[in-house]
Amino acid sequence: VMDCFMKTGLFRMGLTTLGMVKELHPNTAFPKPEKSLNIYRVNDLWQLKMCGAILNAAFEYDLFSYEHYLDAFNMHEVSFYIAEYAGLPVGACMSIMSEDFIDIAWVGTLNGYRKKGIAGYIINAAEKDALQNGKTIAVLTAFEGAINAYKRIGYAGNCKIDSLEFIGDKKP
C-alpha cells in the first residue's frame, strides 16, 4: 500500500516509529517517583498549552499546533500527562484509550532531564488510567533510540510503523 501512495508523487515518507506492547496487571505495584517529581493528567487549557510546548520542544519540531492539541484534548478517549521536576514542566505524553487497549504516544522529556526515568513515570500514569478503565494491554509508539528504556519498564517486541506525509504536487 505504501508503494502505491509513493508512486503517485503526492506523498513522501514521514516519521518511522516502532510499536511495542506490554500486558497490564491489576495488581501491579507502580514505583513512586522521587519527591521532586510530580506526574499528573492535564485537566485544563493552560496545562494543555504547557503539554504541547513540552512535546514540541522535546521532539525539536512542531508536532502539532495548539489547535490540534485542543481537538485531541476534547475527545473523551484522549488524555495528556505532564511531569514536573522541582516545579518545572519537563516531560509529557498523550494516550488514546481504545475499546481494547491503551495507545501511549508522543512520550517526550526535555533534553536536560532525559535518562532520569521521568518518561517511565509518565507512562505509568497512563497505564494506571488504563487499568482503571479495564484495559490490560498497552501499546507504545517509540523511536528507536528509546527502545531499551521502554524495555526496562516492561515493554516488549517491536514492529516498524511507517507514516506518510502528504505533499500535494510539491516534489519531495
Instruction: Give residue-wise pLDDT tens across range 98-133.
Output: 999 999 988 999 999 998 999 999 999 999 999 999
pLDDT for residue 66: 85
Rounded Cα distance, 172 and 121, in Å: 39
pLDDT at 14 over 70: no
pLDDT for residue 53: 93
Q: Where are the alpha helices (DSSP H) in the chain?
A: 2-7, 45-58, 66-73, 118-132, 147-152
Report the SS3 class of residue 118: helix
Residues 50-74 have pLDDT tens digits of 999 999 898 877 667 888 889 999 9
pLDDT for residue 172: 46
Handedness of CA 148, 64, 68, 15 (dihedral sign): negative
